[in-house]
Amino acid sequence: ESATQEDRQPRGGIAVYVANTLAPSVTVLLTGPANCYALLRIDGAVGQDEDMYLFACYIPPQGSPALGREGGSGVWKALAEEVVATVRLGHVFVVGDLNARTATFPDFPGTTSHPIDPIEEEPFQSSDAAPAQSQRQSRDTLQQPNSWGRKLLDLCISSSLRIANGRVRGDEQGQVTFINSSGPGTSLVDYTLASPAAFYLIEEMRILPAPETDHSAVQLFIQRNSEQVPSQTQQQRRKRRLSCSN
């Protein structure tokens, strides 16, 4: 009976809305197990030097019946495989509520489970942008990653994606994204991950209040290549960036 009651509880999910001006350039390529993520391709013609791939995600908490018999392991495995395959094709972003708490544990090789000298890996080198901090910040007070947090860190290590939270302009401190309305407790569970080249396309990330939910809205601004966007008025030039809100 308790399982039936839990099944009736509202859960998160995925809905992707695209501006009319971008819709012709966006294609949904696939959806993942249990509809926990969707992969979209955004044509490079909208202002990038290559195509951009966006994984829009909602992974339920560990133990949720929505994850089925595999309990989420199959979802994380499929997501990691898709990300590794897609990162070779263009710029990759992974965004959404992952119910993963990672504290400030490293998302690059060099951990106990991945004993590779982190000095050997320098993914964020650019002549026209300051390197991202290797050590990110987080206001989540959890000292150790939870199970989904470890899955997320493993995904980053296997794919070379990096966590933007706590590293980029607008969210330098790694703000919490979940505030429990029914009791004490806050956490950082809504993320933006980016492949090395895509990381430098992030102009700003804002964590904004969303009164209708326990989660904050994560708003991501992505740079567009000005050479591919016709020069017009000053106001139009200020709009030369893509915006993605979670």
Please, which residues bridge with residue 207 across strands?
218
Own/partner long-range contacts of 140-144 (Cβ < 8 Å, ≥24 apart): 140/101, 140/102, 140/103, 140/174, 140/176, 140/186, 140/187, 140/188, 141/186, 142/101, 142/103, 142/187, 143/103, 144/103, 144/105
Q: Could you tell me which residues come within 8 angstroms of residue 90 by beta carbon, excluding any fewer than 6 positions away?
A: 41, 44, 48, 50, 51, 52, 53
| Residue whose entry in the numeric block shows the structure tokens 């000095």 | 119
Q: Could you tell me which residues come within 8 angstroms of residue 2 by beta carbon, excluding any fewer than 6 positions away?
A: none
pLDDT at 237: 41
pLDDT at 134: 62
pTM of the model: 0.83
Question: 131 near 125, Cβ under 8 Å?
Answer: yes
Give the chain's residues under pLDDT 50: 1-7, 112-133, 228-239
| pLDDT tens sequence across 76-85 | 999 999 999 9
| pLDDT tens sequence across 84-114 | 999 999 999 999 999 999 999 999 886 544 4
